[in-house]
Amino acid sequence: MRRNDELAQWDRDHFMHPSTHLAQHARGEAMGRIIRTASGVHIEDRNGRRMLDAFAGLYCVNVGYGRTEIADAIAAQARELAYYHAYVGHGTEASITLARMVLERAPDHMSKVYFGLSGSDANETNIKLIWYYNNILGRPRKKKIISRWRGYHGSGLMTGSLTGLEVFHAKFDLPMDGVMHTTAPYYFRRDDVSQSEAQFVAQCAADLEEMIDREGADTIAAFWAEPLLGTGGIVPPPKGYWDAIQPILRRHDILLVADEVVTGFGRLGTMFGSEHYGMRPDLITIAKGLTSAYAPLSGSIVSDDVWKVLERGTDENGPLGHGWTYSAHPIGTAAGVANLELLDSLGLVDQAGAVGAYLNARMAEALADHPHVGEVRGDGMLCAVELVADRDPRTFFEPDRKMGATVVGHLAEQDVIARAMPGGDILGFAPPFCLSRDNVDEIVEKTVTAIAQAGL
Ligand code: PLP
């Protein structure tokens, strides 16, 4: 086995990490952690330190770590058939079975699933499918996409453009042309604090209408949205939001894409966030929870109506010119089948709903009245605590103080991993679904301590 100091040196010398301060990491100034193993809700690093992972990796290890059922399925698939492509109608038992399982769980009006590898590439696929769709329908101008400030849809060229967080744009020359961002459905951060929730929702709807009128509905193809803002702050939609937005989209013949990379497969205590919030999307993006991250796999689910146009397109133009070498990779799809079976057999979607409700209730009980907590919010197995300098009038901390990251650091000192969400001092919690009530009590208690340790 390699020595830890040797690995750490190699890491600094050779490994360029995603979403990392590259210079500080290479100089050895930034925190790094070399993970060795994990089980249930705990990860363990190479120094033998065990931590409760209250963010399930990047909200993806939904069934928890160390599930031998999935590991065995991956190993068996690798032995029998590690790879074959899915081009020109090829498939495997795993890819075909998983497609069926996904559609059995998806909203009734969905028709087919295309498999990719990451949430970013699945969104990229959906953009291309929508452009293709409008070309087949003879509407070559209808191509622009509206997403929301604080939405997160990946970090590719187009998907990074859809993402509505400054840090993913700056110095990358993003967003690209044809992507526009409308108001974030983030009631706590509304500009006008005197607005009621209903007034704020009306404003979100009016802002959208105004953008559509300005640009021309004949130039706008789709509206891209997470059912609940995830990386942008873990913000459930304000009451009535989807009821206000969807009729506008329908009126202007704008497709709705539900990016369910976080919410798909149970995180809200329902199979999909769309059903949870009464959305009727035309396309759905899935990833993380599809395999609980035991192997990279994503999917683009298309509705019956969209599918019919795609079919017509290939009848008119020949095969679809879109595909990845690793689309529907057998190892990923075998992991997906085992993961969805486990989700069912252990009743983990219900557990996410029940224990998630307990987490949100306990967190609110412990912190909602704290003078430096502006809001405790969440839904299902997602919870956020937003820190403020002052509650009344609502005043945020100067970003330089990095209060969110400081509290998350104090939580890590107590062996609990939370995430400092970008764009504010927001503590994010998105644990695996197998979290117990005792785990919840530990997370809440240590969060209270960490906030105190940060001097708040
Ligand atoms: N969409 C949403 C809602 C996400 O949260 C993420 C990742 O966190 C993505 C897309 C991008 O997925 P990936 O990082 O697998 O490309």
Tell me, what's the pLDDT at 31?
A: 79
Atom 13 of ligand 1, nearest CA residue: 119
Q: Which H/E stretch holds residue 120?
A: helix 119-136
The model's pLDDT over 258-280, given as tens digits with 9 standing for 90+, comes to 999 999 999 999 999 999 999 99
For 372-425, the pLDDT digits (tens) are 999 999 999 999 999 999 999 999 999 999 999 999 999 999 999 999 999 999
Cα 285 to ligand 1 centre (Å): 9
Q: Which atom of ligand 1 is nearest to the CA of 154?
A: 11
What atom of ligand 1 comes closest to residue 118's alpha carbon? 15
336-366 tens-digit pLDDT: 999 999 999 999 999 999 999 999 999 999 9
**Model confidence at 177: pLDDT above 90:** yes
- 176 C-beta neighbours (distance < 10 Å), count: 13
Residues 194-223 have pLDDT tens digits of 999 999 999 999 999 999 999 999 999 999
> Which has more confidence, 310 or 1?
310
Q: Which of 153, 158, 272 to mutate to test the pocket of ligand 1 (most atoms within 8 A of CB)?
A: 153
Domains of the chain, earliest start first: 33-63+347-453 (3.90.1150.10), 70-345 (3.40.640.10)
Residue 117 CA: nearest ligand 1 atom is: 15
| pLDDT on residue 43 | 98
Of 184, 175, 144, 150, the residue nearest 165 (C-alpha): 150
Q: Among 163, 288, 298, 324, which is best to mutate for testing ligand 1, by the most ligand atoms less than 8 A from CB? A: 288
| Whether residue 114 has its Cβ less than 6 Å from ligand 1 | no
Rounded to the nearest integer, the mean pLDDT of the chain is: 97
Using a 10 angstrom Cβ sphere, with 0-12 exposed, 13-18 middle and 19 or more buried, the burial of residue 90 is: exposed
CA of residue 438 to ligand 1 center, whole Å: 29
pLDDT over 90 at 64, yes or no: yes
Among the atoms of ligand 1, which is closest to the Cα of residue 287? 15
For residue 31 the two structure tokens come to 């925190």
pLDDT value at residue 1: 81
Is the beta carbon of 259 within 6 A of some atom in ligand 1? Answer: yes
Ligand 1 contacts CB of residue 379 (under 6 A) = no
pLDDT at 105 over 90: yes
Over residues 1-23, the mean pLDDT reads 94
Residue closest via CA to ligand 1's atom 1 equals 153
Helix, strand, coil percent content, the chain, rounded in steps of 5: 45, 15, 40
115 with 86: CB under 8 angstroms? Answer: yes
Residue type at position 154: G
Ligand 1 atom nearest to 296, measured from its CA: 15
Q: Is the pLDDT of residue 32 over 90?
A: no
Does ligand 1 have an atom closer than 6 angstroms to the CB of 290? no
Give 153 Cα–ligand 1 centroid separation in angstroms.
5
- Per-residue tokens: 357: 């409700």
CB-based burial of residue 82 (10 Å sphere; 0-12 exposed, 13-18 middle, 19+ buried)?
A: exposed
Look at residue 371 and tell me whether its pLDDT is greater than 90.
Answer: yes
Model pTM above 0.95: yes
Task: Evaluate: CB of 153 within 6 angstroms of ligand 1.
Answer: yes
Confidence of residue 436 (pLDDT cuts 50, 70, 90): very high
How many C-beta neighbours within 10 Å does residue 375 have?
21
CA distance 256 to 279: 9
Q: Give yes or no for residue 154 CB within 6 A of ligand 1.
A: yes
Rounded mean pLDDT, 316-328: 97
Pocket test for ligand 1, best of 59, 123, 152, 292 (most atoms within 8 A of CB): 152
Segment holding 330, helix H or strand E:
helix 330-345
Is the CB of 231 inside a 6 Å radius of any atom of ligand 1? yes
Is the CB of 55 within 6 Å of ligand 1? no
Answer whether residue 333 shows pLDDT above 90. Answer: yes
Do 60 and 292 form a contact (C-beta atoms < 8 A)? Answer: yes
State whether the beta carbon of 120 lies less than 6 angstroms from ligand 1: yes
Which value does ipTM take for this structure?
A: 0.99
Atom 3 (ligand 1) nearest CA = 261
User: Would the CB of 448 count as within 6 Å of ligand 1?
Assistant: no
pLDDT of residue 361: 98
Q: Whose CA is nearest to atom 10 of ligand 1?
A: 153
The reported pLDDT for the residue numbered 30 is 87
- Looking from the CA of residue 60, the nearest atom of ligand 1 is 8
Q: Determine what percent of the chain is predicted with pLDDT higher than 90.
A: 99
Give CA–CA dist 100/317, Å, rounded.
27
